[in-house]
Structure formats: C-alpha cells, structure tokens
Amino acid sequence: MNTTTSKNSFGDLIRKMGISEEKEEPVKLEKPQPVSHNEPPKPAEPNKTSNSSTIIGSDVEIIGNIKTGGSIELHGNVQGNIEAGGCILLNGTVTGDIKAESVTFSAADLKGNASVLENIIVDEATTIVGDLSARSLTLDGQMNGKIIAEDTCLIKEHAVLNGNIQTRRIGVSQGAVLNGEIKTLAENK
C-alpha cells in the first residue's frame, strides 16, 4: 500500500469536509468562583436614560406589567400596566394603565388610564375607556372618560367623547360629539 497516496486522499477528504489538519490548542477553562449564599445577588440596574425602542408584535400577548427606560411600539395585547421613559406607539390592545413621555394611539383599544408628560394623540380608529392626562391632547376617536390637558385639547371631527374636559385652551372641530362638561383653566402669567 502506498502511504503517500493514502495520506493525500485522506488529506483531500479532510479539506473537502472543511476540517483543518492543524492541531488546535486545548480550551482552558477557568475555575468557577464560589457563590456566596450569605449575600443576595445584586439586581441589574435599569438604564433610566435609555433611548432604545422595544417592538411588540401583533401575535404577542403579555399578561403582566411592562417597564422600560426607552420607547415601546406595541402591536400586540397587554393585560397589565405599561411604564416607559420614552414614547409609546400603541396599535394593539391594553387593559391597564399607561405612563410615558408621550403616547400615540393608532387603531388601538385602551381599557385603563393614560398619564403622560407631553402629548397624547388618539386617531379615529381608537377606542378608550378610561381617563387621559397630558400637557396637550388630540382626540379623534371614541372615548368614555375624563380628559385633563394642562395646555391644549383638540377635539377633531370624528371624535366622540362621553366625559368631562379640563384644559387651558380647547379647539373643537365641526362634527365632533361631546357629552360632558368643559372647564377651562386660567392662563399662567
């Protein structure tokens, strides 16, 4: 038997299979550190200044609360409260309360309250059962609840509101339906 031919054939076969003939260095494993059972593990600190965005798909259902330092784009369903340090785009269903910097409702359903620092926008395909609180608010959908807008409240032509409004400035488009009281606040001087 010719060893050269046999070795070349074997070497060719190894190369074709993507296996190197070179010897690899053995992997060195580090010795595990002992775990202290006297001290509880330290939780990871949330990133309060995060500008990350979380996307929740339409086929996702979450039962429980969501809390993030960033923004959320929600197309699925949540049964629980949502708290975001950034903005929320809601195109799904939430049964629970929402806290965020701003919220845009687009073909969404909310059964709960939303309290935001800046703006709330509610499109005509959205239904809300609960109270909304923001610096400024635009309503073009259906709502049963109270609106508190610190600065401006715009009620657009497709809006149907069964509830009271408290704001500094208000605009109501022709065609909007309002069933409730409007209380305008004095301007800050």
- From residue 138, give the alpha-carbon distance in Å to each of 55, 83, 153, 169: 24, 21, 6, 12
Q: What is the pLDDT of residue 129?
A: 98
Structure token pair of residue 99? 């806290």
Q: What is the pLDDT of residue 20?
A: 53
Across 53-60, average pLDDT:
91
In the predicted structure, residue 6 carries a pLDDT above the cut 50:
no
Q: What is the pLDDT of residue 26?
A: 56
Query: Would you tell me how many other CB atoms lie within 10 Å of the CB of residue 76?
Result: 16
84 contacts: CB under 8 Å, gap ≥ 6? 66, 67, 68, 69, 70, 71, 72, 99, 100, 101
Q: Contact at 8 Å (CB) between 119 and 137?
A: yes
Query: In which band, very low, low, confident or very high, does the pLDDT at 187 lie, cut at 50, 70 and 90?
Result: confident
Query: In which band, very low, low, confident or very high, does the pLDDT at 46 lie, cut at 50, 70 and 90?
Result: very low
Structure token pair of residue 169? 């400035």
In the predicted structure, residue 13 carries a pLDDT above the cut 50:
yes
Q: What is the pLDDT of residue 4?
A: 47
**For residues 8 and 65, what is the distance between their CA atoms, to the nearest angstrom?**
64
Query: In which band, very low, low, confident or very high, does the pLDDT at 45 lie, cut at 50, 70 and 90?
Result: very low
Query: In which band, very low, low, confident or very high, does the pLDDT at 185 lie, cut at 50, 70 and 90?
Result: confident
Amino acid at 99: K
Domain range summary for the chain, segments of one domain joined by +: 53-184
Across 130-154, average pLDDT:
97
Length of the chain: 189
Dihedral over Cα of 131, 132, 137, 143: its sign: negative
Q: Contact at 8 Å (CB) between 170 and 184?
A: yes
Q: What is the pLDDT of residue 37?
A: 47
Residue with tokens 């309002």: 178
Residue with tokens 């002992």: 34
In the predicted structure, residue 168 carries a pLDDT above the cut 90:
yes
- From residue 144, give the alpha-carbon distance in Å to each of 128, 132, 179: 6, 10, 10
